[in-house]
Chain A
């Protein structure tokens, strides 16, 4: 409303301009005038209060008032009741659940796929490892960025999508989602027993199929088993035996309702009994049928790469199995002590 062009712009002019830049054109003139009025009134008050002390110059008053008003961007936001956060509380939970779910599913799948593909393309072992790490980081960053972007847009521009907040009820919470108490979950151990039985069935099926109906055949039509047939003399029967004993043990623990010291120790012995020989045979190159390796012939470097990945998986599975047995025992003891 005052003519700004005939004189040098004051700090107030610059402040008002800075606020105006941050508000929509339709409200700009109104908000600019309001801010100008507010500054002028506060400058007057400041000058009046300071007059008794040191005479009070208008320049100092203007500076003090503007400093007090603070960052013009922030002030503009308060006039527009605009959120000064990336994502509001309405969408935070949905966003965080969805993102965790996506990360947990997509990243491992991509890692395994890329690892296998790079290995088969004949990358060196380190090439496979670095490739997998790089792709993993890229995948995670992309997932985080795009998911967050969608939610930020949704949060700020609800009218674009014609969504009402309650229509996003794919994450609406119900009482059925309440977590089981540990005491209930541990009860019976039936999950472990069933899982163990299914795993045994798969092991038997795998051993039989790979021997008698494998996916590779020699030129004369005879089967080429995956696992070195000479291992039938000791290793393979032992593995099947360990699987059977482990399953029996799981059902015994189920019958008792909770794991005990003896079952944990036995589980550990079984896990080591299966894991250590398998790993040792694998590392020394005696697990696979030599004619199978020859027939597949993926190349030395790919063989090394895939070999390392499988060795890591084997070692991890063994350690993880033992750890979970002892954690189960620890949790059961803690429940018992209560």
Chain B
């Protein structure tokens, strides 16, 4: 299989996990670029063009809340996971675990 093809499938598989990882990371307040670096450090290869609009969307849906920090040299928008966002993160995590268990199960029964 060509790398391009597997790249596409990997990207698809990981799409939803960026939301989950962001919700978890933003339990501690963070700003866009900081979050981008943290995600990449944890192996989530996410594009800025995806992340910034995603943060806006999550905020509009009430999963994140934001505040401008103007105490630094440059103003930055800090996001934080709300209680609703935390509940969503737990739901997603449970589903992730269930999926992982199912996949393992399928794998073992289809050797």
Contact = CB atoms under 8 A, between A and B. Distances in A.
B49 interface: yes
Interface in B41-84: 48-49, 52-53, 56-57, 68, 70, 74-77
A81 B75 contact: no
B53 A38 contact: no
Given A1-B75, A37-B74, A81 B33 contact: no
A40 B74 contact: yes
Contacts of B53: 78-79, 81
Contacts of B75: 1, 33, 37
B69 to A, nearest CB: 10
Contact of B32 (A1, A38, A81): A38
A37 B76 contact: yes
Contact of A37 (B32, B56, B57): B32
Interface string A12-47: 000000000000000000000110011011100100
Nearest to B70: A1
A298 B108 CA distance: 88
A45 B32 contact: no
Contacts of A34: 32, 52, 56, 77
* Interface bracket on B: 10 to 19
A79 B77 CA distance: 15
A77 to B, nearest CB: 9
A38 to B, nearest CB: 6
Contacts of A40: 74
A36 to B, nearest CB: 8
B57 A38 contact: no
Contacts of A33: 68, 75, 77
- Among A1, A37, A79, the one with the most B-chain Cβ atoms within 10 Å of its Cβ is A37
Interface string A75-96: 1001101000000000000000
A323 B31 CA distance: 71
A41 B33 contact: yes
Contact of B31 (A37, A42, A45): A37
A38 B74 contact: no
A33 B32 CA distance: 12
Given A38-B48, A41-B32, A42-B33, A81 B76 contact: no
Main secondary structure on A side of the interface with B? helix
Contacts of A75: 49
A42 B48 contact: yes
A79 B76 contact: no
B55 to A, nearest CB: 9
Contacts of B52: 34, 38, 78-79
Nearest to A68: B48
A81 B49 CA distance: 12
Nearest to B53: A78
Interface in A238-282: none
A79 B33 contact: no
Nearest to A41: B33
Contacts of B49: 75, 78
Nearest to A77: B53
Interface string B30-44: 011100000000000
A1 B56 CA distance: 20
A128 B94 CA distance: 73
Interface in A151-181: none
A71 to B, nearest CB: 12
A234 B74 CA distance: 101
Given A41-B31, A41-B32, 10 more contacts: A1-B70, A34-B32, A34-B52, A34-B77, A37-B77, A38-B32, A38-B48, A42-B33, A42-B48, A78-B52
Interface of A: 1, 33-34, 37-38, 40-42, 45, 75, 78-79, 81
The 5 A-B residue pairs whose C-beta atoms are closest, nearest first, are: A41-B33, A78-B53, A1-B75, A37-B76, A40-B74
22 contacts: A33-B75, A33-B77, A34-B32, A34-B52, A34-B56, A34-B77, A37-B32, A37-B33, A37-B74, A37-B77, A38-B32, A38-B48, A38-B52, A41-B33, A42-B33, A42-B48, A45-B33, A78-B49, A78-B52, A79-B53, A81-B53, A81-B57
